[in-house]
Amino acid sequence: MGLLEQTLSQIQPLDLALATPAQARLDQLTKPRGSLGRLEDLAARYVLITGKARPRVDSKVLFVFCADHGVSAAGVSAYPREVTAQMVLNFLRGGAAITVLARQLDITVKVVDLGVDADFDPQSPGLIQSKIARGTANLAEGPAMSRAAALRAVEVGIALAEEVVRHGAQLLGVGEMGIGNSTAAAALLSAFSGIPPEELTGSGTGIDETTRHRKAEIICRALACNHPDPTDPLGVLAQLGGYEIAGIVGVCLAGAARRVPVVIDGFIATAGAWVACALRPEVKDYLIFAHLSAEQGHRRVLAALQVQPLLDLGMRLGEGSGAALGMSLVESAVRLFNEMATFAEAGVTNQD
């Protein structure tokens, strides 16, 4: 049995046995019932995901998977392909938005090269080099990846997530970097959801309306030439995805198998999350969607998944920036659950 099959076999539905005691504790904390709103729901959900009556969030790890895309040659981005590699170096130097937020929020960032069209110093500190290829092929002309390459990328994501969980990670997050990857994400999400490409294709890195329409047409060509079959999620991922999106799929699956919540970033990370849910529907219960991206189509996709994001800040950067903020909210919810006094402990009169 391969790593993917083994991981899928370990994913189980949530055990709801802890729901009642978790809610009972929330109701006994020194506050009016329900007054912390969705933070209370988030704390109770964290209890159910982890299966622990008093879980903690002492270690947070966010993966930024990086890869290039053959479709970038079609002019679907406002930035050239070499920006992917340049941003990897920016991550490593700590100058990107995600690294600033991670420093503030005490999140460990793991930068992973799964398919960047560049050679990095083998001794680059902080870079996990798991390059499968120097980018994908053009998905508008045929499959972006071979099935074997897509599987390998998913399994890299699984292995990396399992490693950090073994070393104590209690909350995972996923982000990405790859010029052209909003095109791949829109193609994947259109294939799985049935939503037309024109409705899902956004401005990405800031393209104009004429380029956006061309981008939507390219996605239509990709769907027409690849004939994706949503009942074969790995096949669809290979045809339309990217190596970094496949890495996100792997983290989602590993988190669900190990009962560690995974916080999903924006539009592109949601594409990886959808693939993971298509492989095993139970995965969705282990995922926390951080924010509503300003990228066109994200609202439609989240509605189709029947999930509600934590934040709506008009962000569309990627990198895991929204996921980092979402992880901080999860930690706040769990700290409130664990550290607030109950009415009895505080000697405060309850409403009852």
Tell me if residue 101 falls in helix, strand or coil: helix
Q: Output phi, psi for 94, to 5 deg.
A: 85, 15
How many Cβ atoms sit within 10 Å of the Cβ of residue 143? 21
Burial class (CB within 10 angstroms; exposed 0-12, middle 13-18, buried 19+) of 350: exposed
Tell whether the model's pLDDT for residue 272 goes beyond 70: yes
> Residue 293 gets which letter from DSSP?
-
pLDDT digits (tens, 9 = 90+) for 286-343: 999 999 999 999 999 999 999 999 999 999 999 999 999 999 999 999 999 999 999 9
| pLDDT for the residue 345 | 96
Task: Write down the H helix ranges in the chain.
Answer: 3-10, 19-28, 38-50, 83-93, 97-105, 147-166, 181-193, 197-200, 209-226, 233-240, 243-258, 267-279, 298-305, 321-339, 343-346
Smallest CA-to-CA distance from 190 within 202, 179, 178 is with 202
Range of lowest pLDDT (123-127, 225-229, 257-261, 335-339): 123-127
Instruction: Give catalytic status of residue 339 as yes or no.
Output: no
Tell me if residue 173 falls in helix, strand or coil: strand
Residues in the chain: 352
| pLDDT for the residue 351 | 80
Domains of the chain: 3-54+337-346 (1.10.1610.10), 61-330 (3.40.50.10210)
Tell whether the model's pLDDT for residue 1 goes beyond 90: no
Tell the residue number behind the tokens 């930690």, with chain if given.
331
Q: Measuring CA to CA, how many Å separate 299 from each of 40, 69, 267?
A: 24, 25, 9
How many Cβ atoms sit within 10 Å of the Cβ of residue 163? 14
Smallest CA-to-CA distance from 200 within 192, 75, 348 is with 192
> Residue 72 gets which letter from DSSP?
G
Tell whether the model's pLDDT for residue 279 goes beyond 70: yes
Tell whether the model's pLDDT for residue 213 goes beyond 70: yes
pLDDT digits (tens, 9 = 90+) for 109-163: 999 999 999 999 999 999 999 999 999 999 999 999 999 999 999 999 999 999 9
More confident residue, 275 or 122: 275
Q: Measuring CA to CA, how many Å separate 152 from each of 168, 208, 347?
A: 25, 35, 57
Q: How far apart are CA 99 and CA 92, in angstroms?
A: 8
Q: Output phi, psi for 230, to 5 deg.
A: -60, -20
| pLDDT for the residue 248 | 99
| pLDDT for the residue 80 | 95
Q: How far apart are CA 255 and CA 133, in angstroms?
A: 25
| pLDDT for the residue 32 | 97
Tell whether the model's pLDDT for residue 204 goes beyond 90: no
Residue 296 amino acid letter: Q
| pLDDT for the residue 352 | 65
Which residue of the set 244, 319, 339, 345 is catalytic?
Answer: 319
Smallest CA-to-CA distance from 263 within 335, 315, 312, 321 is with 321
Measured between its terminal Cα atoms, the distance across the chain in Å is: 56
pLDDT digits (tens, 9 = 90+) for 38-84: 999 999 999 999 999 999 999 999 999 999 999 999 999 999 999 99
| pLDDT for the residue 42 | 98
| pLDDT for the residue 205 | 83
Tell the residue number behind the tokens 């995922």, with chain if given.
287
Q: What percent of the chain has pLDDT over 70?
A: 100
| pLDDT for the residue 271 | 98
